[in-house]
Chains A and B, each alone.
Chain A
Amino acid sequence: MLVVYSIVEILYVLLLAPLVAGIQYKMEERLESRQGPSVLQPYYDLIKLFGKESLVPKVSSPVYRLGPYVVFMFYLFIAIILPIITAFPLSYASAADFVGGGLLFGAASAVKKFTAIDSRCNYAHLGTSRSASLGALSEPIMVLIFIMLGVLSDTNNPFVINHVLRNSSHWYFSLLHGFVVIAFFIILIIETGQLPVESHTNGELGMIDQAMPFEYTGRDLAMYKWAAYMKSFLLMSVFLNVYILPFAVPTEDAGVLTIVVYMGIHLAKLIGLVLVFALLNTTVSKFRLYKNFDFLAVAFALAFLASLAYYISKP
């Protein structure tokens, strides 16, 4: 049965990731009193791109061509090791703990950078450089956040952390948890490319993630985009299921029906979160590029305060 649940989880992430992105685009447009595209627009874009041929720069190596597929596989693998639709580990969950999951995200990000460098495009290099500068600071903060959650639950297993936060009001309402949630939210904004860090435009002055796949076309670009939707979906799911709303995630004794119902609840949680992002993206102005590091300093400060709060509150 666990294998079936694993397949369902993969399909759930694979199929709904573009929908969540589409809902966010629609919300942003509606908030600005515009009609906006259909929520299914990301699917239309992917179908269109899959139907087009891929053009590859003459100077690139096979890394460029394989990159999007490798990144896509990384995210598919992460999808089966995180608590997305169940609060109990599925067949392959023991393959990596929280730090392992973080390393897989990091590996996917590194492959994206290799492909961008391999494209020999100046814009892609610019995006890579910016992304690497931010990543070099945001990833240690992410590790600090994971360590703090590890302290809280005596483990690095996201399923156990979910269990601890769901069943212990002491930890759920603790300062440590509060600081970690806010710090992770800041990291989530950076990793999913929301304002005030990144705007979805091709303006040279601010683009980061938009610049990296600048040379990609056709099927390769479709895979790249789909992987990006999945990355956002997975990170948002971790934030919701492990950090902020660990409740109601089906436990081991839950039946198939409960899991199906929870998939709807999870989608509703995601819509709530993308509404917050849509509000941010329509109300907040973008930081100048070098100001992003101040934003990261705040995330670090909060993760650091979480460790002090734990030190003070421990018996």
Chain B
Amino acid sequence: MGQTFQILGFFLIVLTLLMQWETYVKGVIWLFSISSFVVALFLVLLGLSHPGQGYLLFVLAGLTVSVRGIIIPLIMNKALRSLYKKPWRVREDRPMLGIGGSILVSLILILIGFFIYQNSLYEVLKIKSGAVPFALFMQASLLIISRKNAYIQMMGFLVMENAVVMLSGWVFSGLPFVVEAGAILDLLGLVVVSSLIIRVREEAIMQEGDSFEKELRG
């Protein structure tokens, strides 16, 4: 089972690397959706390996699929459609880092994540693979820092949340279910509110006659 968890964890890292590679917002949204499904699969497997609290993890997996895997990407896509005539063409104009550069920086951050975990929580937990969510967390930070597009930055934040859910499931599997489920539902609210703010702000900017793409940069 440990190896399956590692495969899923590294798959999430690869998906986040692909997000670094992807310049189109729609692509990043779909990659996030896939990564949420992976997190849900992880929770199901965790539930199967913890028969006592399995049903809570199954509920959490269901929530993860429905909220992060389906509803959030749908809302984001809807907001994109309402803001742009050609939503599939919305992309990062001039990324701060080139693709090769961002992948290399991402690898360095993964290494830093491993180093931090190794010298902090590992001493207590003695679970080597706990470093994977840490690495994911660092990658998500890079996604937020290195992109100027508000949507992609938001995706980076959601990936960060995925890393937290994974860490809590993997390393602190005894955490109360309500905390984890609460974090997910908070996220839903965050996305809805953010989409509305973006929409309202865009309308205000359009009324002033300025380019909204220029204004949406973080």
Taking a contact as CB atoms under 8 Å apart, the answer to whether A305 and B3 are in contact is: no
Taking a contact as CB atoms under 8 Å apart, the answer to whether A297 and B100 are in contact is: yes
Residue from B6, B98, B103 in contact with A309 in the complex, judged by beta carbons closer than 8 Å: B6
Beyond A293-B100, A308-B110, 6 additional contacts (C-beta under 8 Å) are A294-B99, A297-B99, A300-B107, A301-B17, A301-B107, A313-B129
Taking a contact as CB atoms under 8 Å apart, the answer to whether B98 and A294 are in contact is: yes
Indicate if A262 sits at the interface (CB-CB under 8 A).
no
Taking a contact as CB atoms under 8 Å apart, the answer to whether A294 and B100 are in contact is: yes
Taking a contact as CB atoms under 8 Å apart, the answer to whether B103 and A301 are in contact is: yes
Taking a contact as CB atoms under 8 Å apart, the answer to whether B21 and A298 are in contact is: yes
Residue from A175, A291, A301, A302 in contact with B106 in the complex, judged by beta carbons closer than 8 Å: A301
Taking a contact as CB atoms under 8 Å apart, the answer to whether B7 and A312 are in contact is: no
- How far is A42 from B191 in the complex, measured between Cα atoms in Å? 59
- Chain B residues near A175 (CB, 8 Å)? 3, 6-7, 10
Taking a contact as CB atoms under 8 Å apart, the answer to whether A313 and B3 are in contact is: yes
Taking a contact as CB atoms under 8 Å apart, the answer to whether B6 and A294 are in contact is: no
Taking a contact as CB atoms under 8 Å apart, the answer to whether B107 and A304 are in contact is: yes
B199 to chain A, nearest CB (A): 34
Indicate if B128 sits at the interface (CB-CB under 8 A).
yes
Taking a contact as CB atoms under 8 Å apart, the answer to whether B6 and A313 are in contact is: yes
Q: Mark B22-45, 1 if CB is under 8 A from A, else 0.
A: 000000000000000000000000
Of residues 128 to 171 in B, which have CB atoms within 8 Å of A's CB atoms? 128-129, 131-132, 135
- Chain A residues near B106 (CB, 8 Å)? 301
A96 to chain B, nearest CB (A): 31
Indicate if B13 sits at the interface (CB-CB under 8 A).
yes
Of residues 160 to 204 in A, which have CB atoms within 8 Å of B's CB atoms? 173-175, 178-179
* List of 5 A-B pairs having minimum Cβ-Cβ separation, nearest first: A297-B100, A294-B99, A297-B103, A294-B100, A312-B128
- How far is A308 from B129 in the complex, measured between Cα atoms in Å? 10
- Chain A residues near B132 (CB, 8 Å)? 312
What are 12 inter-chain pairs, A to B, with CB distance below 8 A? Answer: A174-B3, A178-B7, A297-B99, A301-B107, A302-B14, A304-B107, A305-B110, A308-B114, A308-B135, A311-B114, A311-B128, A312-B128
Interface residues of B (CB under 8 A from A): 3, 6-7, 10, 13-14, 17, 21, 98-100, 103-104, 106-107, 110-111, 114, 128-129, 131-132, 135
Q: Mark A279-300, 1 if CB is under 8 A from B, else 0.
A: 0000000000001011011101
Interface residues of A (CB under 8 A from B): 173-175, 178-179, 291, 293-294, 296-298, 300-302, 304-305, 308-309, 311-313
- How far is A174 from B99 in the complex, measured between Cα atoms in Å? 28
Taking a contact as CB atoms under 8 Å apart, the answer to whether B99 and A312 are in contact is: no
- How far is A227 from B129 in the complex, measured between Cα atoms in Å? 46
- Chain A residues near B7 (CB, 8 Å)? 175, 178
- How far is A103 from B98 in the complex, measured between Cα atoms in Å? 31
Taking a contact as CB atoms under 8 Å apart, the answer to whether B99 and A305 are in contact is: no
Residue from A173, A294, A296, A309 in contact with B10 in the complex, judged by beta carbons closer than 8 Å: A309
- How far is A297 from B107 in the complex, measured between Cα atoms in Å? 10
- How far is A56 from B38 in the complex, measured between Cα atoms in Å? 60
B107 to chain A, nearest CB (A): 5
Taking a contact as CB atoms under 8 Å apart, the answer to whether B3 and A296 are in contact is: no
Taking a contact as CB atoms under 8 Å apart, the answer to whether A297 and B13 are in contact is: no
- Chain A residues near B103 (CB, 8 Å)? 294, 297-298, 300-301
Nearest B residue (CB) for A291: B99
Residue from B10, B100, B128 in contact with A305 in the complex, judged by beta carbons closer than 8 Å: B10
